[in-house]
């Protein structure tokens, strides 16, 4: 799980940057920027933990996560004028982040003491990966972007489903399956960005 | 409790429709429509469970609720052009829904291992019935409609209080009392709609 | 803890007034005014309890808190035309309120069965004191004021840190330390108001 742990932390770092940049556009002050970075990076997992009853929530027991939020926030503030150079890298890291968050969320749901239905497991995975951004947008007084733009949650949902399928057929070792599913999410999302795919609107 | 269970599911279905229609007006995509339907149908009970410590929250242990959300969402999408014919029926079902949600919420609060004060029981009941709509409106970037329009929470609060009173005097069997209270909520709310009653604004 | 308890209740009362006044400006009805008063007064502690797993949340076990919300709401409604005379007193009481909420939040985090890192303890303290106002602003469809105006969270964070430091050096008795930290928060915040200090914006 070592690699998982490192990527998980890196994901929180990148999410914090994305939150801090969104907060900056709203002209928030230092405290506001930090809080938006916090909820973007840790909000999805917090919501998951609260709804599942895994309390105190994960970051309360592992302050390194709050450290990553500090790190991401200050990184974003220091390099704020140069962020457009990093736009592509950030998008890539964000994609890697949601891929890992989805599979970590799936794992957490599977290892829960209650026997959860696959549809619940997938919901929990998608919540872990995507709802930090939802809370960020609500605090910034916007309709959450993932509700009307981009393909964002879809790869998470399908990737989590794919992972459950791989485990079921038991073709690979679970550890390898998780990386296959993560790769699937990353490729799917990058392809969707490349082609500017969007989900159908309901008219 | 069989009838309760069926009406509970039907209530979730109707709430999901109401959420999906609200999401459509905001031009959300398929994922956004589904999530808004989800929080409208299951958000009030989720909030109740989280605050009471009844975790994992109810729908995680009963995936049929998520099935009702899928059902309500697709129903709303398929019949979206014909919804104005259904407006009156939907309003009726929504009213039946909040009436049952209020009394189910009251029951859950009463059967909790802690001995809760009646005012807390009523608060929990109102939260169960009304806060799905509150979360829907927040996600749609609106001030929650029940804070400034219509008589919506009042029948829930009074119905829950009425039910507690009926149980106290022990005149009916509890099961009958619950239906008397449900009827009270339905009649009160329909009367308020008919007469366009509103709560006083604070000027 | 008697004095603590009384000031805690008084803090909730004053927060409820501030919530009710904000709701009035949004032209909410009686129910909306009450709910905004409720989340302003009890939302921070509720969030803290839910994330820590201290459920049912504190006010469910102590209905007097809900009584304070009723009291504060009606006080605000009755004296709404005269509130400008009270503006300064309210600001003072609000400041006393956040100071006590911060230290009470710190105490709760410290006395938790898990051993929490100081940075988590301080986060919990700040959440207890400041997030009622955040939820109030979200429900009123505004970007939370503490994210872009005034020095509000900073005294709470520093006061909680100061209290931890005082306990560490063990110079005073803990009870006295708590009052020193509370005085620190009050003086810091009043000074910040007096000088119209603001946190730096991130441009």
Please give the full DSSP string across C64-119, using - where no structure is assigned. Answer: HHHHHHHHHHHHHHHTGGGHHHHHHHHHHHHHHHHHHHHHHHHHHHHTSSS---HH
Q: Does C53 contact chain A (CB < 8 Å)?
A: yes
| Closest CA–CA distance from residue C174 to any residue of chain A (Å) | 24
Q: Tell me what the mean pLDDT of segment B54-83 comes to.
A: 93
Distance CA A8, CA A2 (A): 10
Q: Does A60 contact chain C (CB < 8 Å)?
A: yes
Residues on chain A touching C147 (C-beta within 8 angstroms): 23, 26, 28-29, 31-32, 35-36, 139
Nearest residue in A to C153, CA atom: A31
Q: What is the pLDDT of residue A121?
A: 96
* CA distances, B26 to each of A91, B33, B69, B84, C171 (Å): 26, 9, 19, 17, 59
Q: What is the pLDDT of residue C69?
A: 97
Chains that touch B (3 or more CB pairs under 8 A): A, C
Residues on chain B touching C29 (C-beta within 8 angstroms): 147-149, 198-202
Paired with C201 in beta bridges are A29
Q: Is the pLDDT of residue B1 over 70?
A: no
Choose the closest CB to C146 out of A31, A61, A67: A31
Helices A2-25 + A30-52 axis angle, to 10: 130
Q: What is the pLDDT of residue A129?
A: 93
Distance CA C110, CA C103 (A): 10
| Closest CA–CA distance from residue C107 to any residue of chain B (Å) | 21
Using a pLDDT cut of 90, give the percent of chain B over it. 64
Q: What stretches in chain C show pLDDT beneath 70?
A: 1
Q: Does A139 contact chain C (CB < 8 Å)?
A: yes
Nearest residue in A to B65, CA atom: A120
Asked if A29 lies within 8 A of C147 by C-beta distance, the reply is: yes
* CA distances, C12 to each of B192, C45, C134 (Å): 33, 10, 15
Asked if A56 lies within 8 A of C201 by C-beta distance, the reply is: no
Nearest residue in C to A77, CA atom: C202
Please state, as a whole number, how many other Cβ atoms lie within 10 Å of the Cβ of residue A150: 17
Q: Tell me what the mean pLDDT of segment B178-188 comes to.
A: 94
Return the higher-pLDDT residue of C92 and B117. B117
Choose the closest CB to A138 out of B20, B24, B139: B139
Whether the CA torsion C21, C23, C29, C30 is positive or negative: it is: negative
Distance CA A101, CA A182 (A): 9
Asked if B147 lies within 8 A of C27 by C-beta distance, the reply is: no
Report how many Cβ contacts below 8 Å link chain A to chain C. Answer: 85
* CA distances, B144 to each of A85, A136, B130, C26, C80 (Å): 40, 19, 10, 11, 23
Nearest residue in C to A58, CA atom: C51
Asked if A32 lies within 8 A of C146 by C-beta distance, the reply is: yes
Q: Tell me what the mean pLDDT of segment B63-84 comes to.
A: 91
Choose the closest CB to A30 out of C123, C134, C202: C202
Residues written for chain C: 203
Where in chain C are the domains?
3-195
Q: Which of B142, B155, B156 is nearest to C26 (CA)?
A: B142
Q: Does A147 contact chain B (CB < 8 Å)?
A: yes
Q: What stretches in chain A show pLDDT beneath 70?
A: 1
> Where would I find the H helices in A53-141?
58-61, 64-78, 83-110, 118-139
Distance CA C153, CA B180 (A): 49
Residues on chain A touching B53 (C-beta within 8 angstroms): 53
Q: Does A80 contact chain C (CB < 8 Å)?
A: yes
């Amino acid at each position: 799980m070592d690699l998982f742990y490192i990527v998980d932390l890196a994901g929180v770092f990148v999410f914090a940057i994305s939150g801090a940049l969104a907060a900056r556009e709203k002209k928030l002050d230092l405290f506001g920027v930090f809080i938006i970075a916090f909820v973007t990076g840790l909000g999805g997992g917090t919501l998951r933990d609260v709804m599942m009853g895994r309390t105190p929530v994960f970051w309360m027991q592992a302050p390194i996560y709050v450290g990553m939020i500090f790190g991401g926030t200050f990184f974003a503030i220091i390099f704020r004028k140069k962020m457009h150079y990093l736009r592509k890298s950030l998008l890539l890291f964000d994609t890697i982040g949601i891929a890992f968050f989805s599979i970590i969320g799936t794992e957490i749901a599977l290892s829960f003491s209650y026997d959860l239905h696959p549809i619940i497991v997938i919901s929990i995975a998608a919540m872990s990966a995507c709802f930090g951004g939802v809370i960020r947008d609500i605090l910034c007084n916007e309709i959450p972007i993932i509700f009307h733009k981009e393909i964002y949650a879809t790869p998470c949902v399908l990737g989590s489903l794919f992972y459950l399928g791989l485990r079921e057929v038991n073709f690979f070792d679970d550890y390898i399956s998780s990386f296959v599913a993560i790769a699937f999410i990353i490729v799917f999302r990058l392809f969707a960005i490349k082609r500017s795919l969007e989900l159908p609107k309901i008219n």
